[in-house]
Amino acid sequence: MTALRAGRAGFDDRESQGPLWIRLDVSVILLTAALVALGLVVVYSATRGVLTPDDVPNRAVLEAQIVFVGVGSFLGACAAAVDYRKARALIPVLYGFTVVLLVGLFFFGSTFNNATSWYSVAGMTLQPSELAKLTLIVALAAWFSNSRESDGLTLFDVGVGGAIAGLFGLLVLMQPDYGTVMVYGAIVAGVVLVAGVKPWHVGIVIAALTMLVFVGFSTNQIQQYQIERFTAFAAESGTTERYNVDQAEIAIGNGGLQGQGLFQGTQNNNSLVPEKETDFIFSVLGEELGFVGGATLLVLFGLLLMRIWRIAILAENDFGRLIAVGVFSMFLFQAFQSIGMNMGIMPVTGIPLPMISAGGTSMLTSLIAIGLVENVHAHRLR
């Protein structure tokens, strides 16, 4: 935290003056727009299909994604416009509402792929565990920014922060959705590290997580098929449990330097990669746009993360700083995990690639998160 505060010295305080629209970080908006546009193209390629003898493409998934981009952009603009400092008092209400949504899934939720993680309304689905990422970020930022210890956090601070995240984690584990819990862990790690964690706190957290995993195995909460899916990346090539990863790797390998051409991927067009519009969407991009397309995606993400980190440095207060760090941690982990999963170097968890994978609630979460970061930037260094 001290290093982030010190980094502000090189920036001009006058940047914070003027109306809201000129105090936004335009580069963040442009980078987000570029990622969303690239995602829409790849989602369309992954889902177009052929439904009639006239070769009419299937645009249903693309059209739904465009709707969520529009709604997410509006909500992101609202998140940027409402002063995050004044909305801080509403965080307990937001946290409680999020808990109600997660608990409600056990009574009114819809089950897909053995997980009860969605509400289905009028043909649309909503995944509360995605939106809970935002609640977790602002709740942790509010709690840890209240710490009065100048030399770092106390064990009590870390314990309460763990409880804030732990309730969400427990409810999501019961769905079960282990990938999202991993994202929660990344958010907690990022926020706590920047807030000023002590080394021995890390040991306690690791011990608690180890005990949680042990309990999950000993009580059969973690099923065998889930273990096989999670460890598939380490299995021998050609085995049944590694099929999805093998097909994704073949697709990426087919792309070579420049790719087979947009809409021309053989693995994609023959539907050999399961869940290619969501979990394995990077394989579609890699096959059709090649190393150039994959590198472009990584550069866009890298630049976006750099700008978000800069906003954390410029933040007026610890609350805003930790919000930006939480969003940074969420995007960094999800991008690394999702791309790594497609390349066979990370476990298969079903974590979406932010702003690229098909998924309405994921898109809403990503765009609202960008709005929160812009809010912090707009009210910096007054």
| 53 within some domain | no
| 245 within some domain | yes
- Cβ contacts of 53 within 8 Å, gap of 6 or more: none
| 21 within some domain | yes
| 250 within some domain | yes
Only one residue has tokens 């935002």, namely 134
| 323 within some domain | yes
Q: Which of 12-16, 116-120, 223-227 has the lowest mean pLDDT?
A: 12-16
Give me the chain's average pLDDT, please: 84
Helix 60-81, helix 360-378: angle, nearest 10: 20
pTM of structure: 0.89
Instruction: Express as a percent the part of the chain with pLDDT over 90.
Output: 47
- Which pLDDT score, from 0 to 100, does residue 128 have? 94
| 294 within some domain | yes
Instruction: Evaluate whether 377 touches 358 at the Cβ level (below 8 Å).
Output: no
Task: Provide the domain limits for residue 240.
Answer: 2-48+59-378
Which residue has better confidence, 44 or 49?
A: 44
| 253 within some domain | yes
What does the alpha-carbon distance between residue 98 and residue 130 come to, in Å, rounded to a whole number? Answer: 10
What does the alpha-carbon distance between residue 320 and residue 142 come to, in Å, rounded to a whole number? Answer: 9
- Which pLDDT score, from 0 to 100, does residue 34 have? 97
Burial class (CB in 10 A: 0-12, 13-18, 19+), 121: exposed
Instruction: Evaluate whether 270 touches 350 at the Cβ level (below 8 Å).
Output: no
> pLDDT per residue over 315-369, tens digit each?
988 999 999 999 999 999 999 999 999 998 888 888 999 999 998 999 999 999 9
- Whether residue 123 has pLDDT greater than 70: yes
| Secondary structure (3-state) at 347 | coil
Please report the beta strands in 187-291, taking only residues with DSSP state E, as ranges in sequence order: none
| Secondary structure (3-state) at 35 | helix
- Which pLDDT score, from 0 to 100, does residue 335 have? 96
What's the Rg (C-alpha) of the chain?
21
Number of domains in the chain: 1
